[in-house]
Amino acid sequence: MYAQMVKSTGQPVKTLDEMDPLERAFQERINANEMIEPKDFMPDSYRQTLIRQISQHANSEIVGQLPEGNWITRAPTLERKAILLAKVQDEAGHGLYLYCAAETLGISREEMSQKLVDGKARYSSIFNYPTLTWADIGAVGWLVDGAAIINQVPLQRCSYGPYSRAMVRICKEESFHQRQGYAMLQTLCTGTDEQKAMVQDAVNRWWWPSIMMFGPPDQESVHSAQSEAWKIKLYSNDELRQKFVNQCVPQADHLGISLPDPDLKWNEETGNYDFGEINWDEFYSVLQGNGPCNNERLGARRKAWEDGRWFRDGLAAHQAKQDDAARKMPKVA
Ligand code: 3HC
């Protein structure tokens, strides 16, 4: 069975007094906003948390190419095709930076990829939904990349150096992705009635899965307390979700479309938009492998992994030959 299941491993956060001296010194560095680098001491649980999150993030970028790549050959103009191609290539690049960042923690790219194809590692729930029409590509850019930016901008200031630095470039590119999606929807919304209806339909389907991207509600988020103490997470799942909703409502108004939530309304007291109940059963069901495209996405990754085996083997054999030759070279005094 596909293993995108929630397995709660949340531990209560230790106080400084409960920590051993090494761990305490580490936490004090974090509290002082010092950046942690690969060769620094870190508790094994910090290392494992980062490996889990960064590899999930990398996997999401790689799997995230699939719903959009599907439309490259069907983009309506040469310009749209070039933009979409660039965007999908960016996602591949993001995956690679992130796998490299995770490798600094002592896991290999091979292991991470193997875990993904074995269904033992997660990728974002959002990529288990289908892109049915061209307007979906706009909705993905506006909503999915928009949600990703809100989640990822704070990661530029997270405590682990290689992750935070990788996020700087990623966020710049995600910002372009979000704008291209919104611009595409603006074009469609000023087109024919059919085009505007196509946008409304796409937004109706992508809205709720996009706000689920931020993860379970805070009270069910098993890793948040510890990840916030380590400054891997600077905001909670619900805080970021609220920020996203607040940002999207005026943008939807500007497009002249509605968001599919009758409970969405401005709350003068909190200064936020209130929104309706999220269908968490759907979220957990997608995580358990039952989303509309889980099998297709994982099947595509498995095929790519197997198809590329001969090439990886070739590279490894070439490297082994070079290492062997280097070993046999006479040493120069
Ligand atoms: N999809 C799949 N799994 C999810 C999820 C989602 N949207 N949200 C949470 N989960 C999983 C967690 O991985 C965790 O699983 P585990 O215990 O088996 O490891 C479990 O649900 C409990 O959730 P928590 O809130 O306790 O987990 P985290 O503290 O890790 O928070 C997160 C989840 C907010 C997604 C955090 O990991 C994060 O910020 N990750 C970095 C960003 C990222 O991975 N984004 C994915 C989208 S990338 C992308 O969007 C590409 C772009 O091009 C569009």
* pLDDT of 2 higher than 80: no
What phi-psi label fits residue 163: left (phi over 0), alpha (psi between -120 and 50 degrees) or beta?
alpha
What is the CA(43)–ligand 1 centre distance, in A?
A: 21
Mean pLDDT, residues 217-224 taken together: 96
Which run of H or E residues covers position 239? helix 237-255
Query: Which ligand 1 atom lies nearest to the CA of residue 233?
Result: 39
| pLDDT band (50, 70, 90) for residue 330 | confident
pLDDT tier, 11 (very low <50, low <70, confident <90, very high otherwise):
low
**Distance from C-alpha of 282 to C-alpha of 285, rounded to nearest angstrom:** 5
- Rounded to a whole number, what is the largest CA-CA distance in the chain? 79
Using DSSP's 3-state secondary structure scheme, residue 160 falls into: strand
Does pLDDT of 198 surpass 90? yes
Give CA 26 to chain center in angstroms. Answer: 27
Mean pLDDT, range 173-187, rounded to an integer: 96
For residue 36, the SS3 value is strand
pLDDT band with cut points at 50, 70 and 90 for residue 111: very high
Residue 329's pLDDT is 87
Is 135 in contact with 188 (CB distance < 8 Å)? Answer: yes
For the CA of 9, the closest atom of ligand 1 is 17
Task: Give the integer Cα–Cα distance in Å for 210 and 252.
Answer: 14
Residue 21 has, within 13 A of its CA and on its CB side, a CA count of: 0
- Read off the DSSP letter of residue 330: P
pLDDT of residue 332: 75
CA-proximal residue: ligand 1, atom 10 (nearest):
215
Rounded CA separation 151/125 (Å): 14
Cβ burial 180-192 (10 Å sphere, 16+ → b, else e) = bbbebbbebbeee
CA distance 229 to 167: 20
Compute, in angstroms, the gap from residue 96 CA to the centroid of ligand 1: 18
Q: Across the chain, how many H-helices and E-strands are there?
A: 14, 2
Residue of 55, 56, 167 best suited for mutating to test ligand 1, as the one with most atoms within 8 Å of CB? 56
Q: How far is the CA of 179 from the centre of ligand 1 (A)?
A: 23
- Measuring CA to CA, which residue among 330, 190, 207 is closest to residue 264? 207
- Ligand 1 atom closest to the Cα of residue 144 is 54
Ligand 1 atom closest to 222 (CA) = 26
Mean pLDDT, rounded, for 56-65:
98
d(CA 229, CA 181): 35
Which tokens is 227 given?
């990840």
Which residue has its alpha carbon closest to ligand 1 atom 8?
Answer: 215
Could you give the CA distance from residue 68 to residue 177 in angstroms, rounded to a whole number? 12
Confidence (pLDDT) at 207 = 98
Tens-digit pLDDT profile for residues 119-153: 999 999 999 999 999 999 999 999 999 999 999 99
Average pLDDT score over residue span 66-83 = 96
> How many angstroms is it from 222 CA to the middle of ligand 1?
11
Q: Residues enclosing ligand 1, CB less than 6 A?
A: 6-7, 9, 52-53, 56-57, 60-61, 64, 91, 122, 124-125, 144-145, 148, 151, 213-216, 221-224, 227, 233, 237, 287
Atom of ligand 1 nearest to the CA of 52: 19
Whole-angstrom distance, CA of residue 115 vs CA of residue 128: 18
Are the beta carbons of 9 and 52 closer than 8 angstroms? no
33 backbone φψ class: left, alpha, beta (φ>0; ψ -120 to 50)? left
Q: Nearest residue CA, atom 28 of ligand 1? A: 223
pTM for the whole thing?
0.93
